[in-house]
Structure 1
Amino acid sequence: MAASPAAIAEDAERATVAAGCFWGVEHLYRKHFADKGLYDARVGYIGGDLSNPSYKAVCSGNTGHAEATLLIYDPSRLTYTQLLEFFYRMHDPTTANQQGPDRGTQYRSGIFYHSTEQERIARDVTRRANEQWWGGKIVTEILPVKQWWDAEDYHQLYLTKNPYGYECPSHYLRTFPDLK
């Protein structure tokens, strides 16, 4: 569940990723990192031109937004590198504007960095994952974070509230060797 604002430390950091349908992405991050320093995960929209977009508008493919997940974490317990290595294990970053059967620009793979240090790490992890895991086929965007829009309330914790709800079949943890 989401941490209360009082439970989130002042030195908390943010990471923003897009990896297809945000329900599964948020669910996998919560499941894997809940006791490892993840304070909260929110689903929403980023990277588009429309102010305050709705799910219906984003799904039209006309707004430029990606379905994304905003991760708020304790950097003393969980690193940005760990979050990005997990990102490259839990979805297919080689398909442009698609995850499994979900197609459209809203399902693209992207890392939206919050600082120059995050950009450096994102480019390094992407390079290594591309060389060691994905055979040079990664198409993930690496862009500066811009305006974040929370998705509607019914999308937050969707798979927790709907345990048999839709989850993209490309969202699962791959058993790659550790990155060097």
Structure 2
Amino acid sequence: MVNILEDYDGQFLPKVETERLILRQRTVEDVEDLFSYASLPEVCLPAGFPPIATLEEEQEYFENKYFQNLAEKDLPSGYGITVKGSNRIIGSCDFNHRRADAVFEIGYLLHPDFWGKGYMPEAVAALIEVAFTLLHLHKVEIRCYSSNQPSRRVAEKLGFTLEATIRDYKDLEGNRVDELVYGLLKREWEER
């Protein structure tokens, strides 16, 4: 169940409701919630970026760089994930890269307190629906390290096809890992 609760203005994705979650725009008031998981190595390193060092760094990024980066990459804003009944941001799901020919890459993070509850597949399924119904994309991709089992499970659970393995990719800690590229075409999503 995905209910789109607002109109899409071309920049800010509309608020979305799923069975257990609300996906909404993040605001400066959410910075402490964002920092609570974006500062954790166990969340950030498997996703391929360094943890945020300080709350001030997160505040600075959100106030001064986040929307600028979106504009430079020609991407819509993404979502903060909340559990119904709470306004606390527990994770995020975004389009983090635009590729040619109406193809966006999806990225996501979740606070460890909420791992193993099925929230991320639910949130990403909603983002995929927005991608294909509002943004009229042709395809969405998920990239993750082969060692990131939770991220792999999200892609596989949502019907993505493993399209490529980029061997011996160097992660942020200098380890050699395989990077997996998963893809889901709009027509495959419609046929599910």
TM (normalized to structure 1)? 0.38
Structure number with greater CO (CA < 8 Å, separation at least 6) is: 1
Q: Choose between structure 1 and 2: higher strand proportion.
A: 2
TM-score, with normalisation over the residues of structure 2? Answer: 0.36
